[in-house]
Amino acid sequence: MARRKKGDPVDGWVLLDKPAEMTSTQAVSAVRRIFDARKAGHAGTLDPLATGLLPIALGEATKTVPFAQDGMKTYRFTIRWGVSTDTLDAEGEETAKSDVRPARAAIEAVLPRFVGQIDQIPPAFSAIRVDGARAYDLARAGEIVELEARTVRIDEVSLLDTPTADLAVLEMHCGKGTYVRSLVRDIAAALGVEGHVAALRRVAVGPFDIADAITLADLDALKAEGREAQALEPVHAAASDLPVLDITPDQVAYLRQGRAIVVPPRRVEALRALRCERMIGDRDCSRSVLAMDGDEPVAIGDLQAGKLSPWRVFVPSGA
């Protein structure tokens, strides 16, 4: 007899407003515990120092994590001028100090250098693996960590405010793998000053926005009233940019068996006009379609030669 999986069959996304001083793993565990969910994961790590949007997938929603993880992200962050640290943020040890403070015009003048496809060296204190070990573990042990530059995409970086001479508040819209701490390090270097990340908040991940996020305290309050399900976004919310194909009950059975279904020519043309022009990992999603049975996602598949062939199949956890 197969062992019953621990937890309840819960499917959907929770858009958590992560508090500071909590790791992403701890946040996922807290949400999973509130829902007593069998399975959970998240779409993009936030440092303990950082706050803001952490999309957490439960159950079948974990199958769409790459759609959010590979999406564009928006960060608001504060730079404190005058001090550099080994971690590039407020949690690190001071490595250099200066009395120089950049003027607003000078900051704005260097920002265009960091827009587009740029090469960026990740922080030594990061989760990147070096010979099987995490870079931050090596750095904490006192080893010199040298990471190779990576090409990242930054669509926009702008100066929002300079509340004091010591502080500057910026916003960045960027692709996967971009480090705010590295950007701040490089901006400070371009200005010939010292600086580090004093505060960091993520406000958007793929289709998700901080305006729709919920705190752990509010989740706990809903749980106490038995209304925690109200905080769930649909399983397919992360793949909302895919064209939708409404299917019949017979087609539901075919797709859930991993079999292709025939799509009428007129519907094929309509779906092609709505196609999603982006990559999910190594997969080109320009032919991908989301098959729906009413409000329930059934599969994501590629549309070719008049047939939809599934490569992600959703089966409700309670089924």
DSSP 3-state of 59? helix
Split at pLDDT 50, 70, 90, the class of 2 is: very low
Mean pLDDT of the chain: 94
pLDDT at residue 144, as a whole number = 78
Please check whether residue 258 is in contact with residue 315, taking contact to mean a CB–CB distance below 8 angstroms.
no
> What are the Cα distances from residue 317, in Å, to 8, 37, 163, 227, 265?
8, 10, 50, 19, 34
Known catalytic residue: 220?
no
How much is the pTM? 0.93
| Share above pLDDT 90 across residues of the chain, in percent, rounded to a whole number | 86
pLDDT at 4 (0 to 100): 56
pLDDT value for 269: 94
> Which domains are delineated in the chain?
12-71+208-233 (3.30.2350.10), 76-195 (3.30.2350.10), 241-313 (3.10.450.720)
**Coil/strand/helix, residue 169:** strand
**Single-letter code of the amino acid located at 139:** A
Q: Is the pLDDT score of 163 beyond 70?
A: yes
The pLDDT tens digits of the residues spanning 235-245 come to: 999 999 999 99
SS3 of 139, please? helix
Residue type, 318: G
Instruction: Give tens-digit pLDDT for 125-146.
Output: 777 888 777 877 777 877 877 8
pLDDT tens for residues 257-288? 999 999 999 999 999 999 998 889 889 999 99
- What are the pLDDT digits (tens) for 177-215? 999 999 999 999 999 999 999 999 999 999 999 999 999
CA pair distance 167, 277, nearest whole angstrom: 38
Average pLDDT over residues 23-48: 95
pLDDT score for 89: 95
Q: Which of 8, 17, 36, 47 is catalytic?
A: 47
